[in-house]
Structure 1
Amino acid sequence: MQGCFMSNPELLTQLRQLSNDEKVEMIQFLTAELAKEKGLKSLDNGAVYRAWSPYDYDDAAHKLMSLLEQEEAK
């Protein structure tokens, strides 16, 4: 069975020879494997995920500036 596995330097040499697309596939594969091992859910490429962004939150920006100005005035 030992003959089936590559050493780390051999594996790295093989990985360097991959195309960019193949390297991305390897990254995706390794990320999915790590997530599985850690019991994490992988993101679904077809799904839409909501993400918070500071854009279009002018009220929050004004409030923060007001708080900073109050702090500076002390």
Structure 2
Amino acid sequence: MPLTNLMSQIQKLPKIDKLRLMQFLATELVKEEDANFFVANQEYPVWSPYNCSEAANVLMNLLTTKQQERNG
């Protein structure tokens, strides 16, 4: 199927199917780059700011320092 025909078919898809197509294409591109990049059904850690009180303390100290510098 020529790309122009494929594109016209894609335009007719509902939004959710277009999103699924995007996900499929992104996964296919990753597979071409590195077959071991993502493994299906495996969990990957994602950093979250929750329970990071140390980082919050550093930011609060920085803000306090800057405020004191401005006030004299």
Instruction: Give the alignment's TM-score, normalised by structure 1.
Output: 0.62
Residue of structure 1 aligned with 2:23, choices 5, 24, 28 = 28
The answer as to 2:1 corresponding to 1:11 is no
Root-mean-square deviation (CA, aligned residues, Å) is: 2.4
The answer as to 2:68 corresponding to 1:59 is no
- Judging changes above 3 Å, is the alpha-carbon distance between structure 1 residues 54 and 65 closer, same or farther for their aligned structure 2 residues? same
- In structure 2, list runs of 5 or more residues that go unmatched: none
- Mean Cα displacement is larger for which, 54-63 or 34-43? 34-43
- Judging changes above 3 Å, is the alpha-carbon distance between structure 1 residues 63 and 7 closer, same or farther for their aligned structure 2 residues? closer
1:10-50, Cα deviation, whole Å (9 max, x unpaired): 222101223455431x2233112211233361353x22221
The letter for the 2-side match of 1:38 is E
Alignment: residue pair count: 67
- In structure 1, list runs of 5 or more residues that go unmatched: none
Match of 2:44 in 1: 49
